[in-house]
Amino acid sequence: MSEEAAPTASPRQLKLFQLESPLTLRLGSEFFRTLPQSPGIYFFYDGEGQLLYMGQSSDLRARIGSYRHVTPEKHPKRTLRLVSRIALIDVQTCNTAGEAVELERILLLAHRPPFNRAGVWQGDPWWLSMNVEIGGLMLRLQREASPGGLGPLPGVSRHILGTLVRNLLRVANPTWKLSDFPCGLMAYALPLECRLPVSSPSDLVQTLTGALAGDLEGLLAELRALPPPVTLTEQEFWQEELERLEKLTTRGPPGQIWP
């Protein structure tokens, strides 16, 4: 007597076994559907009520919902550890995105959650020197004033400068892949010393100086006009960079990017 072949699962049947995200299992789908689609601050707590992380967004539902899709393939281990510990999420809505940015700045300094890196301390000021060289521009960050240096810049300026310089280089070199950028520049904060290989370093000095003074609209317009990168990884990276740059325009009055 021949053995019967095991039934083959159809694609429809396979969908029944897809795993839900850890956050959905813990908090339920209904929780994410009822989050406000407005600007505000979100707070992540662990099972003992400790504040782990806080952030701000112009759309709380979309931003918090994105944490349901954190995977080892796309996100750093630090984010995976954060998501694994979240037991409670709370929100505080704001009237505008700018109000949310300012409130986040105040709350970060007051609470300093362990999973937040930027904004949890004032830090000592920086001075930025820009030296034009043949075929490039050398940037140096120092704690003390130097002749011709820009400053004093706030302690958080290393992170803001990293975003600004990366986006300026992308506009100057729209065909570059991520691997073509100076290695140290791809970290979140600008290195203390960084040489930028550009054909017109004087132009970059002028553009960067204007951006530090709050003139970002021209840079944002050029970035939005660029064709999308070829790979999905690069598309996601530059979309996040663009969003960081856009947030700088909501920090305060026009012409002010510093918190």
188 with 98, same domain: the answer is no
In a domain, 117, yes or no: no
103 with 130, same domain: the answer is no
64 with 143, same domain: the answer is no
- Determine the pLDDT at residue 5: 52
Tell the residue number behind the tokens 């280089």, with chain if given. Answer: 169
In a domain, 121, yes or no: no
In a domain, 89, yes or no: yes
In a domain, 11, yes or no: no
Strand ranges (E), 26-166: 40-45, 51-57, 88-93, 126-133, 136-142, 150-153
96 with 185, same domain: the answer is no
- Determine the pLDDT at residue 4: 52
146 with 100, same domain: the answer is no
pLDDT tens, the chain, 259 aa long: 445 554 554 444 444 444 568 899 999 999 999 999 999 999 999 999 999 999 999 999 999 999 998 888 778 888 999 999 999 999 999 988 878 888 888 888 888 899 987 766 666 788 999 999 888 999 999 988 888 888 888 877 888 899 999 999 999 999 999 999 988 888 778 899 999 998 889 889 999 988 888 888 999 999 999 999 889 889 988 988 888 888 777 655 544 565 5
Query: What is the extent of the structural domain holding 163?
Result: 126-248
74 with 165, same domain: the answer is no
Of 58, 88, 111, which closes a domain? 111
In a domain, 6, yes or no: no
134 with 222, same domain: the answer is yes
138 with 86, same domain: the answer is no
In a domain, 234, yes or no: yes
- Determine the pLDDT at residue 215: 86
In a domain, 2, yes or no: no
130 with 107, same domain: the answer is no
- Determine the pLDDT at residue 12: 46
In a domain, 107, yes or no: yes
- What is the total count of domains within the chain? 2
78 with 30, same domain: the answer is yes
This prediction's pTM: 0.57
Whole-angstrom Cα Rg for the chain: 22
185 with 226, same domain: the answer is yes
100 with 133, same domain: the answer is no
Of 61, 80, 111, which closes a domain? 111
